[in-house]
Structure 1
Amino acid sequence: MENLETELSEKERQARVNEAALASIAAERNRRSASGHAVISSAMGYGSGALGKGLFGRISHAAKLFCILFAFLVPSLLIWQVLL
């Protein structure tokens, strides 16, 4: 009879371990989902702010124009300096 009680307690222990493992997996899944939502919401907030007519929108537009100007002028200047 003692052996049967040991098996039951072992089954109960395994059930508790299984529940704890499943809870840990569910918590990790929730953490990943929450971090994904945070990334998407921040990207959407940046996009709407950068396309707006406020100060951040104007600074973002000026930065885009600077990058385009830099991309067009630097190769020409390098060729002039190296070849001419």
Structure 2
Amino acid sequence: MSNMENLESQLTEKERQARIYDQAVESIRAQQVRRSARGYAVISSAMNYGEGALGDGAFGRISQGAKMFCILFAMLVPSLLVWRVLL
């Protein structure tokens, strides 16, 4: 085996390693982009939910009704428990 053949195999191995390294770095970057996109989606949905729940549309009215139901239920439960348990 001549010195030239040995040098050629070393170059091809370095090229292969460089390609694998580039693929790994690109994979990591794509993963980071997906992770940050998920974060933006969560924040966007939370903000839109807040705007929709406070609006005058159907969802706003349903949300307001659900809040009132929960408040009234929390006010009535203690008195209902007193009647049931103590009386």
TM, length-normalised to structure 1? 0.88
Structure with max Cα Rg: 2
Q: What's 2:71 paired with?
A: 68
Number of the residue aligned with 1:6: 9
Residue ranges of structure 2 left out of the alignment (5+ in a row)? none
Deviation of residue 18 (structure 1)? 0.4
Q: What does the per-residue CA deviation read over 1:56-77, in whole Å, with 9 as the maximum and x for residues that have no partner?
A: 1111111001011112212331
Q: 1:42 aligns with which of 41, 45, 53?
A: 45
TM-score by length of 2: 0.86
Give deviations 1:18-77, integer Å, cap 9, x for gaps: 000000011111111111111111111111011012221111111001011112212331
Q: Give the CA deviation at 1:78.
A: 2.1
* Matched residue SS, 1:53: coil
Percent sequence identity over matched residues?
69
Deviation, structure 1 residue 82: 2.0
Aligned length: 84
